[in-house]
Every structure is written in structure tokens, then in C-alpha cells.
Amino acid sequence: MTERNKELSKNYDPKPIEDRFYRWWLDKGLFEADVDKEKEAFSIVIPPPNVTGSLHMGHAFNNTFQDIICRYKRMRGYNVLWLPGTDHAGIATQNVVERELAKEGISRHDMSREDFIDRVWAWKEEYGNRIINQQKKLGNSCDWRRLRFTMDEGLSKAVRAVFVRLYEKGLIYRGKYIINWCPRCQTALSDLEVEHSEEPGKLYYVAYPIVGEGGHILVATTRPETILGDVAVAVHPRDENNRSLIGKKVVAPLTGGREIPIIEDNMVDPEFGTGFVKITPAHDPNDFLVGQRHGLEQLQVIDAQGVMNENAGPYVGMSVEEGRKKAVSDLEEQGYLKKVEDLPHQVGHCYRCNTVVEPYLSEQWFVKAKPLADRGVQSVENGEIRWLPEHWTKTYYQWMENIRDWCISRQLWWGHRIPAWTCQDCGHIVVAEEDPTGCPKCGSSDLIQDEDVLDTWFSSALWPFSTLGWPDKTEELEHFYPTSLMVTGFDIIFFWVSRMIMMGLEFMDEIPFNDVYIHALVRDEQGQKMSKSKGNVIDPLIMIDQFGADALRFTVAALTMPGRDILLSPSKIENYRHFLNKIWNASRFALMNLGDSDPSRPDEKDLRLHDKWIMDRLSKVNSQVTDYLDEYLIGDAARLLYDFIWGDLCDWYVEMSKPALWGDEGEDRKEATLWVLLDVFKETLSLLHPFIPFLTEELWQAFGFGQEPMEREEWKVRSSDENSDALGKSMETLQDMIRAIRNLRAEAGLPPQKSVDSVVVRTDSRDTIELVKENEDMISLLAKVERISVIPTGSDAPGKSLSSVLGSGIVYLPVGDLLDIDSEISRLGQEKEQMENNLSKSEKKLANPNFVERAPQDVVEKERDRIEEFQRKIRRIAENIASLSEK
């Protein structure tokens, strides 16, 4: 006899369930992935969150997506590895620890580098696993034994190996170039680490006197403080108005009379400003390239702290803002400032501290990205890597085909220190995987390691193979690489995805993953990006505490549509929590009726239409959900399950099963219904499990379906009944009839629980007549009708009735004894008049060309839908007025 929990608590409480089952799964080793060559591998490496981070809604969505797929694949029999980890987050982590030190009244410069690094490690050990514990609250089914950290010993070994090998191939070099510089963090930033925002600014028109000729040219600039670093003025070679000045000289204002040449360069946009562009190679990336092409001096006037330096003359010691104000004042006083215009422009900020970034001339380490990128493009063009949604390939191509060399050095202490040493005797640079003891060129032991560390993204670019043991040849690397799927947001296609592809191809000679799924953002209900400043942040941990992890998981899954942002609100999570309550209550109903019985498979004769139909519907849902999950369409799968469970199973089948379960149809029918209930609930819980693992595990155990975690139960793919189409058509007709009667009752204003004497069905369809005869008890039960009469089409319609047209006939609800007919006709007339007014307004809107051409397409379509709805209602009201008017 099956042991079941026949007394589930009346109310579903997720807290004790979720904590208990997560511990049980871990104890059972459910998520552990050892190499099993008998099974097909499926692997995902989790996008490693910053070790400083806390779970936010973007993490929750990203992790839920991956967890659904991993749980599904386990149930399909794959050897699934979901490998977790965290990123050392160089700038962010160093900033956190420096803030802690500041509370003690000290800075990192008051201690040795080694002591500071020890403090960071101590912080990491105490706080660094916070986000891991939060991921567990969400239900992440990662193999936690394999937790990796980008600074752990194995990954550090991989980083060194990659750096050395790229250097030896000439793909890493050191050079003095203009880079993005954060004056606050005191480090270089890649282009991708600079966030731009539009801010109000000014365009200053400055006169540069022409040497020896009198007169002047007019140069427009947004940064007058950098005039002090001007070394040339450029015009476009085909600028007919100004090209005659090429080769002449002008005086740079504010410089004490320094003369600079007028040169020609294609960089200049002759349509912007005056056609003249000041060239300051040390403080503008485009000017830097112009300076390289023309061999111009690189004159720096702003230092690493964002302060005007000794080359700035009287401006020395001023901040950039102070220098700008002083320069504008001096230009105006000296007569050089001719005009000022307002000009909103894009200003770059450090992605970590929001300080305005300075273009800064500095010696840094770079990766030659183009040779690596070319192969990365080919891998996608050849179909080796599939992007979902596909349109992201265009974004990927655009960036890869226009890629610039990657600045990988950072002026930090926390991170992978660059494995390069300079000999203090001969200047030779030694790059090595192991710390060198002597200079290979001169034998000196006086070697000093480069002070800089590597960009955080350098180590995370190796994530798919370094986490599996590379550069060692491990079993895991052989079995689980390339990984199967990468799930991430579009905002790090360049930061991370592209670089993983380049590094995977370079060092594994193989793609790092087969599929890349790019998900959209989670926004608030108004479509705004969540931010603390707006006060619209939804904290997933608070949502889990209020509604449970399963409710949050199912919500973000059900709202997922490829290419569309998720618009989330607590009320939506609460609504899906109601869905989980629905599942819980339906299961309680089934368990109370099942008791400890083990119903046997019934004979065909003991199954009614609704029994066969629900099993066939479940087979179709099973097949479709399987197809959806194979294509990572978790939103389509979740919405299909929601509609099936709430509608088909709970609203229809459970209600239709009650007479049999109450014993009104005999013991054979009761036994058959119990068997169907048990079979349907078992399969439904299985389909739901990847989405809501905690609730389904609790119910799985309550039904007594197995002693082991349900994830070890095979995912069965069902096939439809051979009479599937006929079943569906018959059930649809029955449902339409019941809905029609319910709608007629509502139109008559009858209370839902009040039973009516009769309805009349007028039809000549033999199938419909037989359907009504066989299911009169179901119609009576679900539509609250005492008697159903069937009359042929040629018969007179019953008078004083409300009617509804079906595909195979007409349903009439006699209301002569239930309503004041004259009052009802009057009410319907008023309603019809209102609908006609609404219809007229909508038709006028669509007749207006301005509305049709200028309004958003979805607004226009909505108006067309309204017209169809008004027309339908008008016809419906007219039919009822006519029917009620019949004597």
C-alpha cells in the first residue's frame, strides 16, 4: 500500500519546505556531477558574480533560467554539470576594503602591498560567499563542490599560462598609448568599463591668431583647459574653405605665444563646429591617433589625479573643473573667446565609482585583439556557435569586426599581478609562468615584478576551460568542454562573451559553448531600469521571504519572452504565488480522495470523455513543453503549464471528477477517476519540477511517487491518443456549451450558485445531441442547470429567452419567469446604444489619417480590436433583444 500524506496543511507555506528540501538535495548529492562517459554531457558555467555582490533581480532571473534547464536536462538523463563561482572584481573589491580601512583612519598606502592583499583575502573569507548562500536560497542546483574563484590557485595558474603564451606569440605587448583613466580609482579602464551619459555642456569658439598674416581662425572646443596641451590644428583635406591654410601656423591661446601648425587629416568632420579641430594628443583618443600619424609631440597638462600639472603654467595645481573655469575667464579677458553655445554631450564615467574619466597618456599592457577576433567571427559564421535570439549575432559581428586592442593592465593591488619582471641591470623584460630567479640575458638576480594587475575580465575570459582544470588535461575538461550553454545579459556580450570565444578558440582550439542565450533586462512595471536612486529596486531576497523562491522563479520564467524585457512587480509575484496555492489545493483534493488506495489501470469502458480528454491534453502539453525546453523557451513552457493547470486541470477536470469521486457514478468509475487523477498529477508535477522544484518535491513525496528526489525520475515524453482530434473537438463543444450557459446566466444577473430550471439546445447535429445526452450530468453540475432539452433546428425557439450561438447550434436560457422582460429589454437597449457610441468614436479615430500614421502600431491595432469587440457585443445584444421580444 502506498504511503501518502493525506493531510497536507490547509495553507501552502514555502519557508519550511524550501529549507528542508534544499538540505536534502545536498545530502543526496543530487547536484554533483562526476564524469560519466555513459551519459551525454550537458554543462553550464555560471556567469560569476562579483565577490562583493548581493543577489539582485538580474542574478535571480539569469540563475533561474539556467537552473530550469539544468534540472530539465538531469531528468532527461544527461550528465549535468552546473559549475558555480565568483569573480574577484578587482576595482570593486579593492574599493570595499579601502573604505573599511578608511573607517580605521588609514589607507592602503600606509601598509605594504602584501599586508593589504592579506586584508582583502580576510575580507573575502568573511563576506565573499554571501552571494553563494543567496543563490542557494533561490534553489540553484550547482555542484557546489566545484565552486571556483578567479583568484584561486588553479585559475591563477591558468591566467599566468595564458599571459605568457600570448606574449610569446606577440599578441601581448607593452606600449604608451592614451587610455581611459579614473582619477579616483587611479587605474586604467577599458572602453567597456566607461559608462557614458548625456550631460549639459558648452561649446566654446576660440580665436587662434594666424602667424604673420593677421586675422585668426575659429576653433570650437568643449574642453578649453586642454588648449594648454594643443600641438596642432587640423582641417579636412577636402575642406575647400580652409585648405589654403594648411602648412601655416597659429598661436595657441593661453600658452604664452606657442606657435602650432595647421595640418590636414581625415579625422576632422568639416560639418561640425568651424571645420577646425584643435589637436591635443595626450588628452583625446582621436587626437592621439592624429598625433601618431603626423609625428606630433604628446604634451600632457593633466596628471593622474585629474589635476593640472607643471606643463599647465599658471594653472598648475587646479582641478580640471577649476582649470576650465579659469581658462574660460582668461580667454574672455584676453579677447580670444568669441562665442559660447549650449551643447549636451556624452561624458564618460568610471563604471565602479562614477568619477568622470580622463583620456590619459600612459604605459600599459595590451592584447592584440584583431587576430583573436577574426577566428571568433568565423566560429559564428560557420554555425559552430548559435546565438539566441539570433539578432544578437549582428551586434557581436559589429564589435568583433571593429575591435580595438584591449588594455589589460590595471593600477591596482588586488588582482592577478602581471607576470613580467624587469632586470634592473640590463633592462631586459622576463615574462614567465614561474617567478624567475635570474635574468636570462645578463644573469642578474635584481629583478622587479611589474606593479600592475590584470583586468578582471582577463581571468573571467578563461572561465569555461580554466574552471575545468586547464592548463592541466583533466577528465572534466575532456568530458564537459565545450560547455553546452551560456546564459547572460546583452550588456556583457563585449565584456565577457566575445572574449571567452576568443580565448577558448585560441587555447582549446575549440568553441567554449555551443549556444549563447542572451536574455533581456528585468525592469520595473513601468519599464524603467531598476536603480536605488529611483527607489524602484525589487530585492529578490525580500520577494523570496514574502512569497517563496518558487513563486519568484515561476514569475520570471512566465514573463520571459525572447528579445523583450521583463516588467516585474511584487504584485505579479504575488499572483503567481496564488497559482502555487492552486496547485497545492488541487493536490490536497486529490490526496484526500486517494487515501492509501492504489487504483489499477481502468478498462476503456470506464473512462468518460473528460478522462480521455485530460490525458490527451497532458500528452500534448508534455510534448510541447519538451520542445520548448529543448529550445530554451522557458517562458512559452511556463505559460503553457500555467494555462493547462489552472484551466484544463483545475477548472475543468477536477470539477468534472467530483461526481465519480463522491460515488455518484459507481465504484468502477470512482476507481477509474482515481487512477486518472494519480497519473495526471504525477506527470504534471514532473513537468513543473524544473520551474518550481520545492513545491513539486513536497507534493511528489506526499503522493508517494518515490523515495528518491524526483529529479532522478525519468522525464517521460508522452504521445497523444489516436483519437486526439475527435476528443478535443468533443470536449471543446461541451466546454463551449457550458461557457455559453454561464455567460447567459451572468447576462441575466443570476447568482452563480442559483440553479435554473432548464436550458434548451437547438441543433440537428447528431454528435452534439449524443454529447449532450452523455454529459447532461456534467452540464448540470458546471452550469447549475436542472434540465437540458434538445430540439431540432426547425423547431420554434423558446420565447422570452436569452440565446447564444454555438458552432453546432444555439443555446437558449428561458428567463420569462426569472426576469422583468420589459425592464431587461430596456436595459439591453441602453447598453446597445452605449456600445454604438463607443463604436462610433473608435471608427472616427481610425478614419483620421494622423492617428493611423503617427500613433504607435500597437495602439492602432488595439483600436481595431476594440471595434471588432464593440461590433460583436452589438450583434449579441440585438439577438437577445429579439429573443426576449418573441411571444
| Cα dihedral sign, 554-559-565-568 | negative
Beta strands in 39-105 (DSSP E): 41-45, 79-83, 85-86
Helix (H, G, I), strand (E, B) or coil at 821: helix
Backbone angles phi, psi at 50, to 5 degrees: -60, 140
User: Are the CB atoms for 323 and 315 separated by under 8 Å?
Assistant: yes
Backbone angles phi, psi at 222, to 5 degrees: -95, -10
State the SS3 of 245-297: HCCCEEECCCCCCCEEEEEECCCCCCCCCCCCEEECCCCCHHHHHHHHHHCCC
Strands 216-221, 202-209: pairing kind: antiparallel
Backbone angles phi, psi at 174, to 5 degrees: -115, 135
Question: Where would I find the H helices in 369-450?
Answer: 369-381, 392-401
- Closest Cα to residue 290, out of 261, 262, 267, 260? 267
Please provide the DSSP assignment of 677-746 as one string.
HHHHHHHHHHHHTTTSHHHHHHHHHHHT--SS-GGGS--PPP---TTHHHHHHHHHHHHHHHHHHHHHHH
Distances (CA, A) of 222 to 344, 609, 787, 868: 10, 77, 85, 56
Cα gap 717→627, rounded to integer Å = 10
User: Are the CB atoms for 313 and 256 separated by under 8 Å?
Assistant: yes
Contacts of residue 42, Cβ cutoff 8 Å, sequence gap at least 6: 70, 73, 78, 79, 80, 81, 484, 485
Contacts of residue 720, Cβ cutoff 8 Å, sequence gap at least 6: 616, 619, 620, 623
Strand partners, 811: 761, 804
- Closest Cα to residue 336, out of 253, 215, 419? 253
User: Are the CB atoms for 92 and 352 separated by under 8 Å?
Assistant: yes
C-alpha angle with apex 814: 810 to 818, nearest 5 degrees?
150
| Cα dihedral sign, 575-579-585-588 | negative
Amino acid at 61: F
CA atoms within 13 A on the CB side of 314: 7
| Cα dihedral sign, 309-313-318-320 | negative
Cα gap 666→657, rounded to integer Å = 13
Q: Is 532 annotated as contributing to ligand binding?
A: yes
Beta strands in 343-462 (DSSP E): 345-350, 358-367, 386-388, 406-407, 409-410, 420-423, 429-431, 447-449, 453-454
Contacts of residue 781, Cβ cutoff 8 Å, sequence gap at least 6: 655, 656, 658, 659
- Closest Cα to residue 390, out of 523, 556, 515, 566? 515
Number of helices (H), then strands (E), belonging to the chain: the values are 28, 31
Cα gap 215→207, rounded to integer Å = 9
CA atoms within 13 A on the CB side of 739: 11
Distance of CA 172 to the CA centre of its chain: 33
Helix (H, G, I), strand (E, B) or coil at 553: helix
Please provide the DSSP assignment of 192-209 as one string.
GGEEEEEE--EEEEEEEE
Enumerate the known binding-site residues. Answer: 532
Enumerate the known binding-site residues for ATP. Answer: 532
